[in-house]
Amino acid sequence: METQQHLGFTHRFVPGADPNGPTLLLLHGTGGNEDDLLGLGKALLPNAALLSPRGKVLEHGMPRFFKRLAEGVFDEKDLIARTTELAGFVRKAIEAYKLNDASIVAVGFSNGANIAASMFLLEPDVLRAGVLFRAMVPLQPPSTPNLQGKTVFISAGRLDPMIPAPNAERLAAMLRESGADVTLAWSPGGHNLTEEDVDAARRWLGQRPEVAA
């Protein structure tokens, strides 16, 4: 498994057991890279294909998927442009790797979860489902997207110092109001990902035959 440099992003691709099965789009947090969530992807859906790009924005040398002005304050113009760019990468990867375009599942942590949420709001045709660990509202979309048929699992921390509980609840409400089937699960911890988060997400995916492999 080599790091790939084409399609506009440095990334890893791991084929799935079934060419027509789901693909997990793995989106790391700040300071991560294309290797960070490969183990998580295997733990969530062992037979799925894995597509894991590296964020192209550097913050003090740490890769991210879009710029921010301060903690929790996003550069909205950059976020919109980066969301469009990432959606384009996914479309090119679908063609290059012959993926099932009806079964792309975003799995994101923190910054990666935020750009996944932005993709649902701005590029809703790209994703079938999402598993968003520690996500917050990324932006207010210019128009309400049509998320009918989309399913989203949001895992939020009750003691998360970076994302107040009302923000996670607002994100869930935004997606629901757009037609998505949203599950908001609460962890007793903070911003870090826990085994309980992973287990809950795995169970949720297992109950979704349209995306489970």
- Catalytic positions, written as ranges: 110, 160, 191
Adjacent-strand bridge partners of 94? none
Per-position DSSP letters for 44-73, written without gaps between them: H-TTSEEEEEPP-EEETTEEESS-EEETTE
Distance CA 162, CA 104 (A): 28
Distance CA 67, CA 65 (A): 7
The answer to whether 125 touches 131, Cβ cutoff 8 Å, is: no
Q: How far is CA 154 from the centre of its chain?
A: 10
Radius of gyration of the chain (CA): 15
